[in-house]
Structure 1
């Protein structure tokens, strides 16, 4: 039995269709991240799972039981909000245990649950403080603790780290991943941050305009993007996209003299004269001269610490490469940027779909 089934969920506001038929099935213990830009429908979908919004059609099942029309408190879910949603007049101890208190859980049982959750989150020393006396990271730990004590079937997280600074976000990402590995609870997590998605998820649903562009593991999403949108949305810097044309079984790069071999896995795309988009991730480019290569004129070099990010022109098309930090480069020099054939992605410019049929 699946822990969570989302079946053809649609949501319409007037004439605007926000969700256009979402289907996802999660097994117990999976960590699903709904990833996408603002307005893609990810928070609407989370709210429908939580019972905070009603679907126009479709069904949501938790543990095999339909929960449409069921009050949020009876859905066996716990939700962690972006705003923490703590009671300002209650101590940390009471904030964590408040839900259990409302359910008339006996005091000894409630106190044990609160202390167990606080121990996992390392906030036992904060019990007597109120939210105004806590840092952002501490408030988020309290909010997670309040969800933990419920021991729900499904945890829902709505962009829980977006209010934290970069250092705290990294620390809390690690904390959430550690907790998931320990507790093996089913999680649905909404974010627009691809780093959170890649590091936390067992599967990622990349959403766009109310649809799922691709559903897969982080490795599948990153290394085998199904669409141009996924290819450019996941990855920093984003994937380089170069206009090209198939000519005599090779790829002629527009605006340059470069001609690249066409790997066998793209045989179906090898229609002479066909326009195509070539995708290569910046980190796949190197300067060792091995494999297919592109000549590019250096425009800008930026040292980030762990890598040297260069922007260059291949003919009249701009691309980026992430090189080792001590790579010697000079302004306006011509670089030979090589890569492995496995790093090449081809997309249809009309449909935006990958030209590879996996499996």
Structure 2
């Protein structure tokens, strides 16, 4: 039995259809990330699961129970929002246990649940402080603790790390990962940050304009993107895409005289027809295998562990990564290579992956 089943969920606001038929089956203990840009429908879907918004049509089951029309408090879910929503006049301990207090849970049981949540989140020393005395990361831990003590069937997270700075976001990502591994909880997590999605998820659902473009493991999403949108949305720097054409014996990138071997999947395109060839920047190596690609350097950016090179390949823009000790200047020609297995091919009409 799935922990969460979403069947053909649609949501319309007048003539505007926000969700256009979403289907997901989530097993117990999975960490599903809904990933997409603003306006794609990911938060609307989360709110429908929570019961804060009713769908126009479709079905949602938690376990074997239909929750359409059920009040949020009866769904056995806990939600953590982008804003911490803590009570400023209450201590950390009372903030964490407030929901249990409202449900008339006995004091001893409540205190035990608060202590366990504080131990898991490593905030035992903060229990007598008030929110105004805490950092942003500590406040978010308290908000998560308030959800943890509920012991719900499903945790829902709505961009919980967006208000934190980069260092705290990285620390909290690790904390959430550790927590999920320890508790084996079922999580649905909304974000527009692909790094959060890749590091946290057991599966990612990439959303676009109210639909799911692709759902799969982080490895599958990254290494076998189903569409051009997924290929460019997931990955930093994003995948390079080149207009190209199928030839008898290979693939010709527009503006480049060198003919590349035909990648798997490209044989389905008729000879002479256009295609789009993709390659990840990190797959391009100075000392790699494959056909030599002459890249004219335009801009270099040292990030620390690597240099991001912006340049031109046959007149088309390209991004590549080079070792940090490389000596490169604008106008230099850099020879890069990539194995045939690293190339991706897409149909320019359907924007779908070939092969």
Shift of 1:264: 4.0
Residue in 2 aligned with 1:103?
Answer: 103
CA-based RMSD = 1.0
Shift of 1:70: 0.8
- Counterparts of 1:193-204 in structure 2, within 5 Å, are 193-204=193-204
State the 4+ residue runs in structure 1 displaced beyond 3 angstroms.
none
Residue in 1 aligned with 2:292?
Answer: 293
Residue in 2 aligned with 1:80?
Answer: 80
Check whether the contact 1:258–1:295 (CA below 8 A) recurs between aligned residues.
no
Residue in 2 aligned with 1:314?
Answer: 313
Residue in 2 aligned with 1:133?
Answer: 133
Check whether the contact 1:249–1:272 (CA below 8 A) recurs between aligned residues.
no
Deviations 1:238-294 (A, max 9, x none): 00001101111311111221321103443213x111101100000000112521231
Deviations 1:298-349 (A, max 9, x none): 1111111000111111121010101221223233111111001111001111
Q: How many residues align?
A: 355
Partner SS, residue 128 of structure 1: coil
- Counterparts of 1:11-22 in structure 2, within 5 Å, are 11-22=11-22
Partner SS, residue 141 of structure 2: helix
- Counterparts of 1:1-359 in structure 2, within 5 Å, are 1-269=1-269, 271-288=270-287, 290-356=289-355
Deviates more, 1:62-71 or 1:187-196: 62-71
TM-score by length of 1: 0.97
1 CA distance for matches of 2:291 and 2:53? 52
Q: Which runs of 5+ in 2 are unaligned?
A: none
Deviations 1:2-38 (A, max 9, x none): 1000111000000000000000001100000000000
Check whether the contact 1:239–1:282 (CA below 8 A) recurs between aligned residues.
yes
2 CA distance for matches of 1:289 and 1:18? 45
2 CA distance for matches of 1:313 and 1:151? 54
Q: Which runs of 5+ in 1 are unaligned?
A: none
1 CA distance for matches of 2:281 and 2:264? 23
Deviations 1:46-86 (A, max 9, x none): 00000010000001110111111111111010000000111
1 CA distance for matches of 2:255 and 2:15? 44
TM-score by length of 2: 0.98
Deviations 1:210-258 (A, max 9, x none): 0000000000000000000000000000000011011113111112213
2 CA distance for matches of 1:132 and 1:26? 38
Shift of 1:45: 0.2
Check whether the contact 2:288–2:339 (CA below 8 A) recurs between aligned residues.
no
2 CA distance for matches of 1:25 and 1:226? 19
Partner SS, residue 156 of structure 1: strand
